[in-house]
A and B are shown apart, each in its own frame.
Chain A
Amino acid sequence: MAKRLDLKAVDIYYGDFHAVQDVNLSVAPRSVTSFIGPSGCGKSTVLRTLNRMHEEIPGARVDGEVLLDGEDIYDRGSDAVAVRRTIGMVFQRPNPFPTMSIRDNVVAGLKLQGVHDKKKLDEVCEASLRGANLWKEVSGRLDKPGGGLSGGQQQRLCIARAIAVAPDVLLMDEPCSALDPISTLAIEDLIADLKKEYTIVIVTHNMQQAARVSDQTAFFNLEATGKPGKLVEIDDTSTIFSNPTEQATEDYISGRFG
């Protein structure tokens, strides 16, 4: 199940614009790694290169290697669709499919990949909703549209949808930034549970959240607007927040930044 991620000398470009420079990092299986840093420093960009989602933007390009258990996901033979089946993603704003019921939302990935065995779909649906801590709240109304849930429930529905296709790695792009503190707490508890089975990478603007949920923290920064973003430092979360090596990290964490 959970796999290891290694980035080696990754540079990301949008057309001529050099967005992120020379990222090297490793993410251990069954761990949570958080990306922190100021807006525009490229942390979301790096996250989106991990499942080739940035390719949806015209002109985007990646140099270097992104290895999933040693296999380069940018290898010429590898298919972006297959990569995304292995590396799932949860987005900043909850985005359930508006035309589908709660059940169909959860199993959308499987169904559209060609699984039609109703018994299996029902099992996966229940397991995924339980995995996302949403089963108790929605089990009575699986046929209702997903858009009728609250924001926090919708986000957990999106997590259920992402884990229903059984990925090896789960990427989360500021999953709590549109949610209230109670829903945020629910998602954070969920992340702690999901860690037992998945490798998780999470982008967050909330440093307390990074400190609460992650084992490892990476700090990204950029020298000036227009310059490429860089990975400043990556270390155990406790080290980053108590005794960072770089002055820039300490400035950012202690609020002396910009």
Chain B
Amino acid sequence: MSAVRIRLALRLGALLVVGVGVAATALVTGQRGIILVGGTGAALVLGAVATGWRWAGSASVAVLAAVAAVAGAALPGPGGTWLLVAAAAATLAYIVGLDHVERPRRSTPVVSLTRGSLAARVVTPALGLAGAGLVGVVAAQPVVPSVPLVVLGLVAGAAAVLVATRSR
């Protein structure tokens, strides 16, 4: 087996583990319906990895996000929040990994000549995950709603919309 094939097999295996791992968060709810959805997600992950079909990849991403959200909601306390942060990281990794799976599988594979600078590839996702952790920590605090807090939340939301749409 050539080095390229071994690398591809390892990549597929890792992607499968990550995807099925997110789907397995359904088990923490203990509810048959959610576990069934988790199983569907795992099956979609398997299908996406095995076939490289783009629709299967997108469907698996949607189902995994839903399963992780429901599992996070079902788990009480900070455990649920940290489960959501871990699921967010795993979902990000899964989405990035799907790109490699969905490339056309031919005898002459697509060659990645350069991958962009490491800082550009790592810093922003790390910031995103740090933000997710921060939001999780804040969300876990017992907060009594007040007018300044609501105003602060609205300002933060408006700023986020501005930043997201500024350059588009």
* Chains A and B are bound partners: no
